Amino acid sequence: MYFRVFHHQASGYASYLLGDMAAKEAVLIDPRISDIAVTAAILNDQKLRLTSLLFTHEHDQAKLSNVDIFQAYSAHFAKDMVVVPAGHKDFLTFGDERIKIIKTPGHMLKCQSYLWRDRLFCGDLLSVDICPHQPRPVSPADLWDSVTQKILLLPAETFLFTGHSTKAQFLSTILQQRLWHPWFSGTTRDAFLARIGSP
């Protein structure tokens, strides 16, 4: 397998390239247009073909939509490359690798997370109050349910990769989030909703 993190220290954004070295296929999670050149160089060096762009969510306020990003990548890579929209299906494959798609609404209504091997990519799902485009979740009740009933029930040793972090701490584990997340650890649904609803 091949795994590469694109982390932008100034903005805190992160993207992830996953590859099946045997099949020579790869997918990119939460791509950014600014990464096209380095992505092309890596794919060429590793002899990988980019087959899918995966998005954890999309912000209406963002300058570039997922469609814009997909079109930019399509101009540089395979014309049959696909984008996986929210609610598309429950899993996808690239080569012999399998990614489970978990619907995780809350931060935005159509958020989804991707579970690959022992790694979960959840975008801004756990960035309750630090996302520059969405400083408060669109649906706090859905967010609580997504995090507590889907994400935090995964095995404790699962690595969790976020899409954005103001302190560049984009990697943790499910166990760490259960124990120390400032919004979800040691609280109740009612307390969370009351807190998120306060000024």
Q: Which residue has the higher pLDDT, 59 or 120?
A: 120
Q: Quote the mean pLDDT of the chain.
A: 85
Would you state the pLDDT for residue 156?
Answer: 97
Would you state the pLDDT for residue 110?
Answer: 81
Q: What is the pTM of this model?
A: 0.88
Q: Which of 57-66, 135-144, 152-161 ranks highest by mean pLDDT? A: 152-161
Sequence-ordered list of residues with C-beta below 8 angstroms from that of 146, at least 6 positions apart, any chain: 103, 104, 105, 106, 111, 125
Residue 56: give its domain's CATH number: 3.60.15.10
165, pLDDT greater than 80: no
DSSP characters for 114-168? EEETTEEE-TTTT-TTT-SS-SS-S-HHHHHHHIIIIITTS-TT-EEE-SB-TTS
Domain count, the chain: 1
Residue 180 structural domain: 2-196
